[in-house]
Amino acid sequence: MKKILFALLFSLVLVLAACGGDDSESKEADTSSDTEQSTETATPDPNNEVNIVASNFEFDKDVYAVKAGEEVKVSLTNDEGMHGIIIEGLDVTIDGEGEATFTPTEPGEYKILCSIMCGEGHGEMVSTLVVQ
């Protein structure tokens, strides 16, 4: 009889331990999303040769930076799927893979969006071009 009681207690401990494990997993997921947000705000050094690589459904960087008053060459490569770019406010469009050149004059932040309806994640394809 004692053996059965011990077995019951032991299985109860196992169930409690399993619940505790689930809690710590969800906490880990929260902290990883925090670190993602902090990298989004960092602005890289300006480079007027911008190579953007698109995949399903994001561009390879959250922020690209260029210098104002100098010619900028943007190229787009599709690593996965079929995407294009529109840079809002700068009249720059690349549909599919290709290049475009332009000279930004106004410093500021411009949105880079996907120009091709590529699927479910299309609306999430947003990056920023910082003109310094």
The one segment of 10-18, 37-45, 48-56, 118-126 that binds Cu ion by CB under 5 A: 118-126
| Between 112 and 114, CB nearer to Cu ion | 114
Interface with Cu ion, residue 112, by CB under 5 A: no
Q: How far is the CB of 125 from Cu ion (least distance, A)?
A: 5
Q: Does 52 bind Cu ion (CB under 5 A)?
A: no
Among 50, 92, 94, 114, binds Cu ion (CB under 5 A): 114
Helices (H) and strands (E) in the chain, counts: 1, 9
Binding-site size, Cu ion (CB under 5 A): 4
Specify the residue, 67 or 122, whose C-beta has the smaller distance to Cu ion: 122
Amino acid symbol at 130? V
Sheet holding 126-131, edge to edge: 63-66, 126-131, 108-113, 85-87, 92-94
Strand order across the 72-78 sheet: 58-59, 49-55, 72-78, 98-102
| CA atoms 72, 73, 77, 81: torsion sign | positive
For the window 62-101, what string marks contact with Cu ion as x by the rule CB under 5 A?
A: ----------------------------------------
Instruction: Please pick, from the candidates 53, 68, 102, 122, the single residue that binds Cu ion as defined by CB under 5 A.
Output: 122
Does residue 126 sit in helix, strand or coil?
strand
Nearer to Cu ion (CB atom), residue 76 or residue 118: 118
Q: Which amino acid is located at 61 in the chain? A: K
